[in-house]
Amino acid sequence: MKPKEVLAFAKENGAKMLDLRFIDLPGVWQHFSVPINQLEEGNFEDGYGFDGSSIRGWQPINASDMLIIPDPATAKMDPFCAEPTLSMICDIADPLTREPYSRDPRNIAKKAEAYLKSTGIGDTAFMGPEAEFFIFDDIRYDSRSNGAFYEIDSVEGSWNTGRDEAPNLGYKPRPKEGYFPVPPMDKFQDLRTEMVLVLEKLGIEIEAQHHEVATAGQAEIDMKFRSLVQMADQLMWFKYVLKNVAYRHNHTVTFMPKPLYGDNGSGMHTHCSIWKGGKPLFAGDKYAGLSQMGLHAIGGILKHCKAICAITNPTTNSYKRLVPGYEAPVNLAYSSRNRSAAIRIPMYSTSPKAKRIEFRTPDPSCNGYLAFSAILMAVLDGIQNKIDPGDPLDKNIYDLPPEELAKVPSAPGSLEEALNYLKADHEFLMKGDVFTQDVLDMWAEYKTANEIDPVRLRPHPHEFFLYFDI
């Protein structure tokens, strides 16, 4: 929509409020609202002022004034507000220079798309994330200087087979057996369907929904692929819709990668392809139906994977999922059909339009704007430098003898390790001024001070089990 069309759309839907949304550096939607009469055509250029010093990873207090500029193409009616509310995703600008803000993740994603076009390699990068999540009934946690705990509960939890539920009707998926029995074992079919219908009402095309592997309500809803910025925008709506649909049914949704011990974590397998002039560029006559460009793209991801994990797997909890020998694809190899490799080439269709690579290491705790941009920059570096991905690994990696497995590189074992790789390997991200040194420095500083150090300094509850009687 254009600005005039947005004003007409708001009037047609009886909007009373305007909700302005943007994303902070870690990846959480922020917003504020104004009465709809405060929206005029000029606001699509002039924007609205706000305090940028209160946003995580952004401005110091002595330079706090920022502009938020609504993008008319993103206008939607919010499906959850009590009063009719028009929502728009916004870009952030400096009020003095009017330049896009370097630490605005959406700006970084826009620059990634622009850089792709500037290379002449392609004109569109398509992304298709499969963001897994958990639906819980109850979550309690606390972290103090003298104690810490968390407690998760779910009517589906396998640990509740013996609970007095007056009556307990059973049908609770065993660990790693949630993929995917019909109801009544699957208790969230109707809830997921409601999520799908709300997403579709917002114009987000959905391909499938299903229960996932873990007990206690793990699930997946798959969006049809879209261009990079469009998909990053959709991912924010996706998380917002799922959380709010669950909330109004007295459930809660989390995209935390590893909330349960001893069962599968939540990944975000991300499908990627590059097109030019309406034609897919990753389809060809090489391995698994890929083009040479597609193989070079894989080479770029494998070369830079340890660095981009700091962005695609950006939490300390991410590395509870990325543990060698378990379900997560930590092995830096590629294969057709083999889901134990970090990169898979899906073989569901022989159509050239369906040919893409699937990067399986990321998880849904990431900031989609930053993660998709980092993946694209690694892909482009592989294509530009003709990086050879080596031979595919079509064996089950988990069954390899130790001497063969030792030759397969692995993803980082911690967020701190990933950040160290990022510090050593980030030049490819800075091409075209997509990621700036300022952004990368702030990312490492924020993650270290606010996540790594607080977790590292605290005793873990299980340490008392192991060591209290020493």
DSSP result, 427-461: GGGGGGGSS-HHHHHHHHHHHIIIIIHHHHHSPPH
Q: Assess whether 427 carries a catalytic annotation.
A: no
Which entry of 21, 269, 296, 321 is annotated as an active-site residue? 269
Kindly tell me if the per-residue pLDDT of 8 is higher than 90.
yes
Work out the mean pLDDT of the chain and round it to a whole number.
95
Residue that has been written with the tokens 């097109």 in this structure: 275
If you average pLDDT over residues 226-234, what whole number do you get? 98
In 3D space, the residue among 399, 289, 304, 383 whose CA is nearest the CA of residue 344 turns out to be: 289
Rounded (5°) CA angle 173-179-180: 85
Report the distance separating Cα 122 and Cα 48, nearest Å.
35
pLDDT class of 281 with cuts at 50, 70, 90: very high
* Per-residue confidence (pLDDT) for residue 257, from 0 to 100: 97
Which residues are registered as beta bridge partners of 275? Answer: 124, 280
Q: Assess whether 426 carries a catalytic annotation.
A: no
Q: What is the pLDDT of residues 372-417, one digit of tens each?
A: 999 999 999 999 999 999 999 888 777 778 888 788 899 999 999 9
Which entry of 251, 321, 360, 426 is annotated as an active-site residue? 360
Which entry of 19, 156, 222, 358 is annotated as an active-site residue? 358
If you average pLDDT over residues 285-302, what whole number do you get? 97
Q: What is the DSSP letter of 241?
A: H
If you average pLDDT over residues 248-271, what whole number do you get? 97
Q: What is the pLDDT of residues 15-46, one digit of tens each?
A: 999 999 999 999 999 999 999 999 999 999 99
Q: Assess whether 212 carries a catalytic annotation.
A: yes
Q: Assess whether 132 carries a catalytic annotation.
A: yes
Kindly tell me if the per-residue pLDDT of 63 is higher than 70.
no
* Per-residue confidence (pLDDT) for residue 322, from 0 to 100: 94
Six token digits for residue 397: 């990696």
If you average pLDDT over residues 259-282, what whole number do you get? 97
DSSP run (H or E) holding 344: strand 343-345
Percent of the chain with pLDDT over 70: 99
**Coil, strand, or helix at residue 176?**
coil
**C-beta of residue 368 within 8 angstroms of C-beta of residue 129:** yes
* Per-residue confidence (pLDDT) for residue 327, from 0 to 100: 74
Q: What is the pLDDT of residues 334-375, one digit of tens each?
A: 998 777 789 999 987 788 899 999 999 999 999 999 999 999
Q: What is the DSSP letter of 290?
A: B
DSSP β-ladder status, 85-93 and 65-70: antiparallel
Strands (E), 15-116: 17-23, 29-35, 48-51, 65-70, 76-77, 85-93
Which entry of 5, 51, 65, 404 is annotated as an active-site residue? 51
* Per-residue confidence (pLDDT) for residue 398, from 0 to 100: 72
Question: Which amino acid makes up residue 463?
Answer: E
Query: What is the Cα 99 distance to its own chain's centre?
Result: 27
Report the distance separating Cα 402 and Cα 364, nearest Å.
31
Kindly tell me if the per-residue pLDDT of 292 is higher than 90.
yes
Q: Assess whether 360 carries a catalytic annotation.
A: yes
Q: Which of 94-98, 259-263, 373-377, 382-386 has the least mean pLDDT?
A: 94-98
Which entry of 56, 163, 249, 339 is annotated as an active-site residue? 339
DSSP β-ladder status, 218-223 and 206-211: antiparallel
Model-level pTM? 0.96
Report the distance separating Cα 111 and Cα 105, nearest Å.
10
Q: Assess whether 51 carries a catalytic annotation.
A: yes
Report the distance separating Cα 436 and Cα 432, nearest Å.
9
Q: Assess whether 226 carries a catalytic annotation.
A: no
Q: Burial code of 300-324, b = ≥16 C-beta within 10 A, e = fewer? A: bbbbbbbbbbbbbbbbbbbbbbbee
DSSP secondary structure, 389-442, as one string: --S---S-GGGS-HHHHTTS-B--SSHHHHHHHHHHS-GGGGGGGSS-HHHHHH
Q: Assess whether 205 carries a catalytic annotation.
A: no
Q: What is the pLDDT of residues 418-447, one digit of tens each?
A: 999 999 999 999 999 999 999 999 999 999
pLDDT class of 80 with cuts at 50, 70, 90: very high
Which residues are registered as beta bridge partners of 34? Answer: 18
Torsions phi, psi for 113 (to 5 deg): -65, -40
**C-beta of residue 225 within 8 angstroms of C-beta of residue 109:** no
* Per-residue confidence (pLDDT) for residue 61, from 0 to 100: 67
